[in-house]
Amino acid sequence: MSTLPPPKAVAEIGADLTPDGFAALRHAAEPVVIRGLVADWPVVQAALDSDEAVVAHLSRGGSRRPVTAIAAPQRAEGRFFYTPDMQRLNFSTGQGRLETFLSDLLTARDMADAPALAVQSQDLAELLPLVAEENRLSLLPDVRPRIWIGNRIRVAPHYDVKENIACCVAGRRRFTLFPPDQIANLYPGPFELTPAGTPVSMVDIHDPDLSLYPRFAKAWEHAMQAALEPGDAIYIPYCWWHGVESLEPLSILINYWWNEGEPEGIGSPYEALLHGLYALRHLPPERRAVWKAMMDYYVFEESGDPVAHLPANARGMLGQHSPAIFAQMREIMRDVFR
């Protein structure tokens, strides 16, 4: 059993967040709890009434399509993760109506050996348009919300290549966060098979095995933690690692992912990372060093603007970016891969 101290608390602000305040919050690039941000949502008020009330609220009008649900046995202790041999994930999937899943959640509340159950990352406006219409986030009017529903479950620390506001609707949730530069101390798992899209930390933050993952103690020095009540929200900056625990037999979260500020037409950094693994990682060390210097010069501009010495009309793809320039880059890459 680990004896690591409690992590630092995430900073908190009130719900009276102006657009300028939101911009400043994002610029700081630190997690922030926004207490009561969505406390006036009808779905939150229903959840505060009872589990049955929020299930009835979600079920009005019926869902528009089937959903994919996941389930892990009781022995998983709510942790959606890998089987011990890491050849498979430790949960099964199935499709059905949301109303049936919600009924199953209510039934599972009274089971001593209840499985871990979840419906994750569903487009709310597509699935439950009435709920989406009645519960809006004015800070992000153009971002499509996604809904997450389950019981007492744990999602391993992982990162999203987006900014995120996660709003707690029903049940309490605990978030444990780490800055992106702690990746080496979080022991990421494989790319090919992952329970959360991007690689997850292999460390069980409930009971970290420091003999197997000794650097995690260093990551823990930078950890932040927050507990959200219904109506609260948390801002998670771009690529911050976050583990999420649902603490009640019925738990609902609505989140907003977005990537404001990226130029139109730009490629995917995550895909570039995968290509870097493909093209660079297995070169001899001396050649990797050459390409690291190239990347530092052209991509990360560690020596300043790499084309400052060229006239503007000769800078090409290294000059001012535009959708047309990005399209030209894609064509060049297509030619390379033919």
pLDDT tens-digit series, residues 186-215:
999 999 999 978 999 999 999 999 999 999
Domain membership of residue 263 (yes or no) is no
Q: How many domains does the chain have?
A: 2
Q: Compute the average pLDDT of residues 247-268.
A: 93
Domain final residue, candidates 222, 237, 258 = 258
Query: The domain that contains 113 carries what CATH number?
Result: 2.60.120.650
- Nearest residue to 233 (alpha-carbon basis) of 150, 152, 140, 157: 140
Q: Are residues 242 and 285 in the same domain?
A: no
pLDDT, mean over the chain: 94
pTM for the full model? Answer: 0.94
Q: Are residues 236 and 329 in the same domain?
A: no
Domain final residue, candidates 233, 258, 283 = 258
Distances (CA, A) of 243 to 3, 79, 153, 173, 206: 19, 11, 11, 10, 11
Return the structure tokens found at 68: 């994919």
Q: Are residues 91 and 128 in the same domain?
A: yes
pLDDT digits (tens, 9 = 90+) for 12-29: 999 999 999 999 999 999
Q: Are residues 275 and 149 in the same domain?
A: no
Q: Are residues 92 and 168 in the same domain?
A: yes
Q: Are residues 292 and 251 in the same domain?
A: no
Domain final residue, candidates 211, 235, 258 = 258
Q: Are residues 44 and 108 in the same domain?
A: yes
Give the CA angle between residues 262, 263, 264 to the nearest 5°.
115
- Nearest residue to 120 (alpha-carbon basis) of 90, 83, 146, 89: 146
Q: Are residues 59 and 29 in the same domain?
A: yes
pLDDT digits (tens, 9 = 90+) for 66-103: 999 999 999 999 999 999 999 999 999 999 999 999 99
Residue 332 is part of which domain span?
Answer: 269-337
Domain membership of residue 235 (yes or no) is yes
Domain membership of residue 154 (yes or no) is yes
How far is CA 329 from its chain centroid? 29
Can you list the alpha helix ranges (DSSP code H) found in 8-123?
19-28, 42-49, 51-59, 98-108
Q: Are residues 232 and 312 in the same domain?
A: no
Q: Compute the average pLDDT of residues 129-145.
A: 95
Q: Are residues 71 and 215 in the same domain?
A: yes
Residue 26, Cβ density class (10 Å: 0-12 exposed, 13-18 middle, ≥19 buried): middle
Q: Any idea what DSSP says for residue 39?
A: T
Q: Are residues 149 and 287 in the same domain?
A: no
Q: Are residues 296 and 208 in the same domain?
A: no
Residue 284, Cβ density class (10 Å: 0-12 exposed, 13-18 middle, ≥19 buried): exposed
Distances (CA, A) of 24 to 17, 32, 159: 10, 11, 22
